Structure 1
């Protein structure tokens, strides 16, 4: 939904003007930003249990890194298929690490089994959103779109962590915001994946007709 939309284009334009140019002049490698994004995801996952607000801020910074590496590669004339491959694969690891942190925090609630189930479903949905696109593109059909692409998922994970100080006021209890976030991610990511499967199958069948 956000990916490729006006909001993302405006965001990337601001980053291009304020950050990408200086990084390009300093010779920073796009792969360095890709690796930094993964490290920040790991840090966020580790912070989520005891310092969820710090974890949420770290997720947002990591999301900016994720938005920057491709822009930096293009600006520096270093865009390669190998770099794009590394970025996509490390994104999957990074998202898993943040989801693991959310699961740890959500397990502090009175519903640890639900926390585990939602976390597993969220991981499965996130993987299938990416796999459906990759498989369709491998068969010659571009497939994007949906409400829970990676930018939306990253933003929701960050917001779920940042909302932790208000868990008591919302009647959720410790870890409740993380539990609710995992539930929404599980439902939204799998709905997006199923929609992509439906649209991809329809388009591929039409191409064979």
Structure 2
């Protein structure tokens, strides 16, 4: 179960934004940088939520903006005919920094740095196994339980709920449980992608 499977539908929904970005003279790389800035704003909001819980709501909005811009940049590059390996590399690098920044903000807001480290490693291994398949001449792997689209959606929903409802489950806040999910399910997803790649290679 992964929202990455809905990418074709999401791409069509982004068409008006892509057209708007094109008319505004924005470049795909510029939009990728804006997406990173949105991730920084999300992390800052999550950290500030330690003092005022409503900042989680702002963080949720910035995470949504990051996700939307991440779709727009690639579609704009294809629309302009400027898509390239260099642009793809930049996009992947900035996406990974965005993942690290957002999770670090969540962990810092809770003061749960060990849990944040576990979550970051799960997320990075998931992404690494997705792109490493390309390095051995396979298609990029988007499958598994928890892809990037799923993580962004979960982060947005959980942080918005946390902003509006003060609850704790088993002594952990919903945001802390979110990090647990990223840590555990992230590594499971990475192993799923590894298994798929090995099967495709006939090993």
Alignment TM-score, normalising by the size of structure 1: 0.86
- Paired position in structure 2 for 1:164: 162
Structure 2 residues not aligned, in runs of 5+: 50-54
Q: CA shift at 1:190, angstroms?
A: 0.8
Runs of 4 or more, structure 1, over 4 Å off, are 172-175
Structure 1 residues not aligned, in runs of 5+: 108-114
Q: Structure 1 residues 155 and 93 mapped into 2: Cα distance closer, same or farther (>3 Å)?
A: same
- Paired position in structure 1 for 2:19: 21
What is the root-mean-square deviation in Å for CA atoms of aligned residues? Answer: 1.9
Map of 1:40-189 to 2, 5 A cutoff? Answer: 40-49=38-47, 50=49, 51-107=55-111, 115-142=112-139, 143-168=141-166, 170-172=167-169, 176-189=173-186
Alignment TM-score, normalising by the size of structure 2: 0.88
2:137 partner SS: coil
CA distance in 1, matches of 2:128, 2:189: 12
On the 8 A contact 1:99/1:119 being kept in 2, the answer is: yes
On the 8 A contact 1:164/1:175 being kept in 2, the answer is: no
Larger Rg: 1
On the 8 A contact 1:122/1:186 being kept in 2, the answer is: yes
Q: CA shift at 1:2, angstroms?
A: 1.6
Aligned length: 195
CA distance in 2, matches of 1:173, 1:202: 39
CA distance in 1, matches of 2:126, 2:105: 21
Q: CA shift at 1:25, angstroms?
A: 2.3
Q: Per-residue CA shift, 1:17-51, capped at 9, x if unaligned?
A: x2111211222101110000001101110111321
1:163 partner SS: helix
Q: Structure 1 residues 164 and 174 mapped into 2: Cα distance closer, same or farther (>3 Å)?
A: farther
